[in-house]
Structure 1
Amino acid sequence: MHDLSSPDKREGASLVALPERVRSPWWELGRRVLAALAILVGTVLLVMIDRDGYRDAGDATLANPYGTISLVDAIYYTTVTLSTTGYGDIAPVSDQARLVNAFVITPARIAFLVLLIGTTLEVLAQRGREMFRIARWRKHMGKHVVVIGYGTKGRSAVDTLVNNGLERDHVVIVDPSPEALADAHADQLAVITGDATRRDVLRRAGIATADQVIVTTDRDDTNVLATLTVRQLNPDAFIVAAVREQENAPLIRQSGADSVIISADAVGRLLGLSTLSPTLGTVMEDLLTYGGDGLEVAERELLVNEVGVPPQSLPDQVIAVVRDEKVYRYFDPVVTLLARGDRLVVVRPAKELPWAPRPGTHNEDVAADAQEG
């Protein structure tokens, strides 16, 4: 993938760059240059082979009225002919040379001009297509996910979302670095190149209509300012933000983050667990790693036939219950019996769809019929 646009540093603007499956522009330019050279060399050879059928007014003498056509003359005649300049000092005079000019060199001249003009037209057309693609993308963009920062954490977050069913067309990356632009394009993601603490950059990402925002840059101060700006532009978005240090967590919550992940502490705890108990560390890593034949932590809706049932009696391994937007451990007396509207946080095999009911376990068809009734 290649960059279709570059940020205008003078205006501080950011540009949308959508991924596109095209060949390298250097490949396209090289191919056209080689084709033009092939036409040029081929025409020179034709003129040299039939040089006796041409008249050079500059070299004409009484003894040699046609003059002498040298290699330099052939190159000169070819360039002025293919470029349609046509000074007339060298001209075909024999019937054979005129026929070759009419049926061979004239089509070659047209092809040569098409290559030159076509390159310019293609560049203009490509820009037009890109503007159309961006306009269509903006028109259909809504309820999407904006990921601010496309480093290791940002890529992992996007992979998790995509693996759980989110379309790549509904993910927008905001990052100022060229490396992130290349990585996001390689992953077929739309990119806004710019600083996420600037309002105009976030507006280009469609932040006002975004459903969720993930803030995960390499600096806590940037995360705090970006979160504050996002919250001002979109009061309803669900914001998940990452911080490196525990002491910055309250600040980023005050800035408007709905969920805060403390990366340094999480990694430290995992390292400590792996040191004290390698087995426990392996299990925790399995829970945090997507896919494979291991385990997965997931959240799902409560089914109708599960209402009034203790969490411990369900086939899924329930570890928490979400009720009225509060999280309770499965053994909390508040959730001794499950109630309509509860959501379950469960551990299940990773090969299953994490956000869907387990097929065949909870009699979903009966539950769906009961809900419709």
Structure 2
Amino acid sequence: MPRAADDQEVSGRVQLPERSRSPWFELTRRLLLAVGILVGTVMLVYFDREGYRDASDPANRVSLLDAIYYTTVTLSTTGYGDITPVSDQARLINAFIITPARIGFLVLLIGTTLEVLASQGREQFRIARWRNRMHDHVVVIGYGRKGRSAVEVLTRNGRSRDEIVVVDPNPAALDDAKYDKLAIVRGDATRRDSLRRAKVDDATQVIITTDRDDTNVLSTLTVRQLNPDAFIVAAVREEENVPLARQSGADSVVTSSDAVGRLLGLSSLSPNLGSVLEDLLSYGHGLEVAERELLVNEVGRQPQQLPDQVIAVIRDEKVYRYFDPVVSQLARGDQLIVVRPSQELPWAPRPGTHGEETTGEDEA
């Protein structure tokens, strides 16, 4: 008997969100219903066998074998006429029970065949269409706690879930990703075929956050070979593996264990400082760290004069602290790293939300 849908998935197969139950499950369920109709009709005919006559039997008796034969040819065809109902009760049962059962039986079998074929074809069509339109997307390798948090931040900042693909070999993690309505690829991210199924060569961003540093480094190296232009963010547990991750091609490396350790140490020295840092790392309440474009009316001003608390300025792809003399006056094309209230305020609008003009739009 076919196993459940999750057990049928093989390594590297693409799964799209909101997939219906396995067609083989539906086939088995419908076959059981058909057998139920068949058995029920056999018993009905056999118990009412006195109302039937068998033209091939001199005694006109209907046995259990005759009841099975009559039921199968009646439900699957219109019958051969060798066994016929003769009593009023048998004829009524044929008219109001067996005839509807015959219709239901045929519809069930034909419908099952069409449903299996249509379901498989529909899923293949969905995957083919997904492959054709999936580009400039985000690939998340590893869907543990860190991966889920990264996806949450992406979706809250405007990324559609349709633009995110999860790669993970763990069925439990993939169940979470499917529940979160994400496309998934079950497979090892250190293997090229798994990454190709996730279309990593067309991705603009790749987030690598498995539980092992060696897997993260090897995945980074494989992703970079397949896509030289993608922006890769990798997580490592140990500080000593940061240079190795960068050499493998990561554009940004986050050290999880050291970051947590620093937060714990600062919280023990100053609980208030630890609370502020935790607030900055959280999303949706309190303070928020964000990157935004420079507005036209902010050109020529000092970072300290803006309503947002500017902590860094990105100019010519380099990051400068707000007090660096190089960025003492803001110029067109600058990007700002700011600390702002998580709830958008009129005096601290995000570009594009209140009709204001950015320097990027002005240059275009």
TM-score range, shorter chain: 0.7 to 0.9
1:295 is aligned to 2:295: no
Alpha-carbon distance change, 365 to 130 in structure 1, aligned in 2, over 3 angstroms: same
Report deviation, 1:281: 1.2
Calculate the TM-score normalised by the size of structure 1.
0.84
Q: Match of 1:243?
A: 236
- Secondary structure of the 2:356 match is helix
Report deviation, 1:20: 1.6
Q: What fraction of aligned residue pairs are identical, expressed as a percent?
A: 69
2:305 alignment partner, one of 310, 313, 335? 313
* 1:179-198 equivalent positions in 2, closer than 5 A: 179-198=172-191
Report deviation, 1:331: 1.2
Alpha-carbon distance change, 82 to 267 in structure 1, aligned in 2, over 3 angstroms: same
Distance 2:352 2:247 in 1: 42
- Secondary structure of the 1:352 match is coil
1:325 is aligned to 2:317: yes
2:53 alignment partner, one of 38, 52, 55? 55
1:167 alignment partner, one of 160, 164, 172? 160
Q: Match of 2:356?
A: 365
1:260 alignment partner, one of 248, 253, 258? 253
Q: Which whole-Å deviations, capped at 9, do the CAs of 1:158-195 have from their partners, x for residues lacking one?
A: 11000111000100111111112211100000011111
Q: Which whole-Å deviations, capped at 9, do the CAs of 1:256-292 have from their partners, x for residues lacking one?
A: 110000011111111111111111111111111111x
* 1:25-40 equivalent positions in 2, closer than 5 A: 28=26, 32=30, 35-36=33-34, 39-40=37-38
* 1:104-183 equivalent positions in 2, closer than 5 A: 104-183=97-176
Distance 1:366 1:324 in 2: 21
Aligned residues of 2:24 and 2:116 also touching (Cα < 8 A): no
2:269 alignment partner, one of 272, 276, 287? 276
Distance 1:253 1:147 in 2: 18
Distance 2:318 2:363 in 1: 27
Q: Match of 2:224?
A: 231
Distance 1:257 1:360 in 2: 29
Distance 1:361 1:51 in 2: 80
Aligned residues of 2:292 and 2:351 also touching (Cα < 8 A): no
- Secondary structure of the 2:135 match is coil
Report deviation, 1:363: 8.0
Where in structure 1 are there 5+ consecutive unaligned residues?
9-13
Alpha-carbon distance change, 266 to 368 in structure 1, aligned in 2, over 3 angstroms: closer
Letter in 1 for 2:268: T
- Secondary structure of the 1:365 match is coil
Distance 1:105 1:22 in 2: 32
* 1:55-94 equivalent positions in 2, closer than 5 A: 55-56=53-54, 65-67=59-61, 69=62, 74=67, 77-79=70-72, 81-84=74-77, 91-94=83-86
1:6 is aligned to 2:4: no
Letter in 2 for 1:215: I
Letter in 2 for 1:270: L
Distance 2:229 2:350 in 1: 33
Alpha-carbon distance change, 361 to 253 in structure 1, aligned in 2, over 3 angstroms: closer
- Secondary structure of the 1:344 match is strand
1:219 alignment partner, one of 212, 235, 243? 212
Distance 2:96 2:210 in 1: 64
Calculate the TM-score normalised by the size of structure 2.
0.86
Alpha-carbon distance change, 278 to 29 in structure 1, aligned in 2, over 3 angstroms: farther
Distance 1:7 1:24 in 2: 14
Q: How many residues align?
A: 359
Report deviation, 1:66: 2.6
Aligned residues of 2:23 and 2:115 also touching (Cα < 8 A): no
* 1:327-342 equivalent positions in 2, closer than 5 A: 327-342=319-334
Letter in 2 for 1:7: V
Q: Match of 1:18?
A: 16
